[in-house]
């Protein structure tokens, strides 16, 4: 191999993007912006590397994050499409992720158990042993539903769940984790069921990184769900080996800044790993706010074992949302989001982050919360206020809404109606939840008559993505396919890491380098293709 002629910044950009090859960069006689470049080997084909040369190894996206995460879950890339409720994280999306060497979670939250089982049927048939998972959401207002979903997962052999919105550990989630625990022929602990817990709170993360609570294990023994020996074994494993530190995200979120949250979770992980000395290595991933190569590169630089995307996936063709929603998301900017009351935890005051631009849901939902806080019953709502609600939000008398609410909960959870019979404020909450719950359904179906009431879960990452892809083929919603988006993010993150390695060695070049404009899927697949000549450096 010979030393090439001098190159400029455009050639340097191309070299950085050849991520499957290492490069050596040599100063060109002190000429700013000019270098000599050598590809393919750390020793220059037998030549000694001159003093002052900068070296950058090959960096395919497979090497980002923690390699053990991919090995253990059977993935090629440390990239996860997080569960989006009501089937927005669709079977089609999960299939695309899995076939692309990544992990997708089906959005089980909010769906009837029968519909979740149909999703299990499909994914088991289309993906077989390939990696995929299902959501398990904390349901404090409907604990029987959480238990029923766990029953389904255990009966159908679902081995991987994303546990989300948990404020504390519950008996169902502990039951899922420890079910089937035992020892193999060599005496090693085997836990068939794996949890990736998504949380933004240190106290919750501590509980998931710790062994299951003894109190809940005793209850499972008393219920004959596990044996005493299994309870003892369960005390030697973490509830979750992997936690996704959830920063400012769509849906349930505490709006935490990733730059503060991720290092905090990593420090917690280090303390707990040292304290419990598990046989497995605890890992922390990054979720929330990730939708560009820059945000992904930042997360990996902060020590993320893997990354989790959300909002950006809803804008893709494979999501279970509607074309109308995808059009709205494609116009979102970073400030076009707001917090609104959550349907599933309304009475607790829990909020979710939603799209503000193009919909009035956030403001209307906030009004319902204000009324709930100030009134004791539906009958106490001032007549003028009640008339406005019936005209704009409910579009029918509240008595009719209550009848429909009774029909719904008679099938889903009759205990809610029993409580409403003796608690007028709970009855009011159930009526308000009728609107909050249907608002996401209207969005997913693209109901044109309810456009202003769409509840679209969305974080500021959506605006960052739109800014990045502006002027490219991905600006158009019709071109947004989840695998194309994911590979562009991963590829760009690897290129950015390589560029930063050069800067850390004192190499100066224009801030516009590297050029990370989105590329078509076919081009990315060629750039990411493994070759026998690929260097191990």
Asked if residue 327 belongs to a domain, the reply is no
DSSP code, position 134: E
Tokens, residue 275: 């304290």
Same domain, 111 and 151: yes
Mean pLDDT value of segment 145-173:
94
At 534 the pLDDT is 42
Same domain, 54 and 68: no
Domain final residue, candidates 286, 321, 356: 321
CA 439 to chain centre: 22
Angle CA 23–26–28, to nearest 5: 140
Pairing between strand 133-137 and 337-341? unpaired
- In the predicted structure, residue 212 carries a pLDDT above the cut 70: yes
**Residue 355, H or E segment:** strand 351-355
Same domain, 116 and 265: yes
Mean pLDDT value of segment 171-200:
94
Which stretches does DSSP call E strand in 97-193? 103-106, 133-137, 160-164, 182-183, 189-190
- In the predicted structure, residue 306 carries a pLDDT above the cut 90: yes
Assign 532 a pLDDT band (cuts: 50, 70, 90).
Answer: very low
Pairing between strand 182-183 and 133-137? unpaired
At 66 the pLDDT is 95
Asked if residue 439 belongs to a domain, the reply is yes
Same domain, 342 and 235: no
At 530 the pLDDT is 64
Same domain, 163 and 130: yes
328: phi then psi, degrees, rounded to nearest 5: -65, -40
Same domain, 67 and 38: no
Alpha helices for 304-357 (secondary structure H): 311-314, 323-329
At 420 the pLDDT is 87
At 383 the pLDDT is 93
Asked if residue 460 belongs to a domain, the reply is no
Closest CA to 439 of 526, 364, 529, 369: 364
Asked if residue 471 belongs to a domain, the reply is no
Q: What gap in Å lies between CA 67 and CA 531, rounded to an integer?
A: 19
Assign 31 a pLDDT band (cuts: 50, 70, 90).
Answer: low
Tokens, residue 113: 């158990």
Q: For the beta carbon of residue 454, count every other beta carbon within 10 angstroms.
A: 25
Assign 141 a pLDDT band (cuts: 50, 70, 90).
Answer: confident
Q: Using one digit for the tens of pLDDT, what is the confidence trace for 387-441? A: 999 999 999 999 999 999 999 888 878 888 888 888 999 999 999 999 998 999 9
Q: Three-state DSSP class for 14?
A: helix
At 402 the pLDDT is 93
Asked if residue 82 belongs to a domain, the reply is yes
Same domain, 275 and 128: yes
Same domain, 312 and 385: no
Q: For the beta carbon of residue 221, count every other beta carbon within 10 angstroms.
A: 17
Pairing between strand 337-341 and 194-199? unpaired
Tell me whether residue 30 is exposed, middle or buried, using C-beta atoms within 10 angstroms of its C-beta: 0 to 12, 13 to 18, 19 or more: exposed
Angle CA 35–39–41, to nearest 5: 125
Whether a cis peptide bond, with omega within 30° of 0, leads into 514 is yes
What share of the chain in percent tops pLDDT 70? 94
Mean of the per-residue pLDDT values of the chain = 90
Range picked from 83-87, 351-355, 425-429, 484-488 for highest mean pLDDT: 484-488
What's the residue count for the chain?
Answer: 537
- Out of 91-95, 112-116, 343-347, pick the least confident: 343-347
Domain final residue, candidates 321, 345, 377: 321
> How many separate domains does the chain show?
3
Domain final residue, candidates 321, 345, 371: 321
Asked if residue 309 belongs to a domain, the reply is yes
Same domain, 372 and 411: yes
For residue 250, what is the domain's CATH number? 3.20.20.70
Same domain, 348 and 242: no
- Domain of 149 in residue numbering reads as 62-321
Asked if residue 249 belongs to a domain, the reply is yes
Q: Using one digit for the tens of pLDDT, what is the confidence trace for 119-134? A: 999 999 999 999 999 9
Asked if residue 533 belongs to a domain, the reply is no
Same domain, 425 and 488: no
Q: Using one digit for the tens of pLDDT, what is the confidence trace for 450-501? A: 999 999 999 899 999 999 999 999 999 999 999 999 999 999 999 999 999 9
Same domain, 366 and 510: no
Mean pLDDT value of segment 61-82:
95
Q: What gap in Å lies between CA 170 and CA 128, rounded to an integer?
A: 30
Tokens, residue 521: 């899927």
């Amino acid at each position: 191999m010979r030393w090439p002629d001098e190159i400029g910044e455009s050639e340097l950009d191309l070299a950085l993007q050849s991520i499957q090859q290492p490069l050596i960069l040599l100063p060109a006689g002190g000429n700013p912006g000019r270098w000599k470049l050598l590809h393919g080997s750390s020793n220059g084909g037998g030549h000694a590397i001159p003093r002052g040369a900068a070296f950058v190894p090959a960096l395919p996206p497979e090497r980002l994050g923690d390699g053990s995460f991919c090995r253990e879950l059977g993935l090629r890339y440390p990239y996860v499409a997080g569960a989006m409720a009501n089937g927005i994280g669709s079977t089609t999306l999960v299939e695309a992720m899995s076939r692309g060497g990544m992990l997708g979670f089906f959005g089980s939250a909010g769906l009837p158990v029968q519909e979740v089982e149909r999703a299990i049927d499909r994914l088991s048939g289309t993906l077989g042993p390939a990696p995929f998972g299902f959501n398990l959401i904390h349901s404090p207002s409907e604990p029987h539903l959480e238990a029923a979903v766990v029953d389904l997962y255990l009966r159908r052999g679902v081995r991987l769940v994303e546990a989300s919105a948990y404020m504390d550990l519950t008996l169902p989630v502990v039951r899922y984790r420890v079910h089937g625990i035992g020892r193999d022929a060599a005496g090693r602990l085997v836990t068939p069921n794996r949890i990736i817990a998504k949380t933004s709170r240190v106290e919750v993360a501590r509980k998931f990184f710790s062994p299951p609570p003894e109190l809940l294990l005793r209850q499972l023994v008393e219920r004959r769900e596990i044996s005493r020996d299994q309870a003892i074994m369960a005390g030697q494993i973490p509830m979750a080996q992997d936690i996704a530190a959830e920063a400012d995200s769509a849906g349930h979120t505490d709006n935490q800044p990733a730059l503060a949250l991720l290092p905090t979770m990593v420090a917690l992980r280090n303390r707990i790993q040292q304290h419990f000395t598990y046989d497995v290595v605890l890992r922390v991933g990054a979720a929330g706010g990730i939708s560009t190569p820059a945000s992904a590169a930042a997360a990996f630089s902060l020590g993320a074992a893997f990354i989790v995307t959300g909002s950006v996936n809803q804008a893709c063709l494979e999501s279970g949302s509607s074309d109308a929603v995808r059009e709205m998301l494609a116009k979102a900017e970073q400030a076009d989001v707001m917090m609104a009351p959550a349907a599933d935890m309304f009475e607790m005051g829990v909020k979710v982050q939603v799209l503000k631009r193009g919909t009035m849901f956030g403001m209307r939902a906030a009004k319902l919360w204000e009324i709930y806080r100030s009134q004791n019953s539906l009958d106490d709502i001032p007549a003028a206020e009640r008339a406005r609600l019936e005209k704009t939000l409910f579009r029918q008398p509240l008595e009719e809404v209550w009848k429909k609410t009774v029909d719904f909960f008679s099938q889903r959870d009759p205990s809610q109606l029993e409580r409403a019979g003796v608690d007028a404020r709970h009855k009011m909450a159930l009526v308000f939840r009728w609107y909050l719950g249907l608002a996401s359904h209207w969005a997913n179906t693209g109901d044109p008559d309810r456009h202003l009431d769409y509840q679209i879960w969305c974080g500021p990452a959506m605006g960052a993505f739109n800014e990045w892809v502006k002027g490219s083929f991905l600006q158009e919603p019709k071109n947004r396919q989840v695998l194309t988006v994911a590979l562009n993010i991963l590829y760009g993150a690897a290129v950015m890491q390589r560029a930063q390695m050069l800067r850390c060695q004192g190499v100066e070049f224009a801030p516009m380098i590297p050029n990370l404009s989105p590329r078509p899927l076919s081009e990315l697949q060629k750039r990411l293709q493994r070759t026998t000549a690929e260097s191990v450096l």
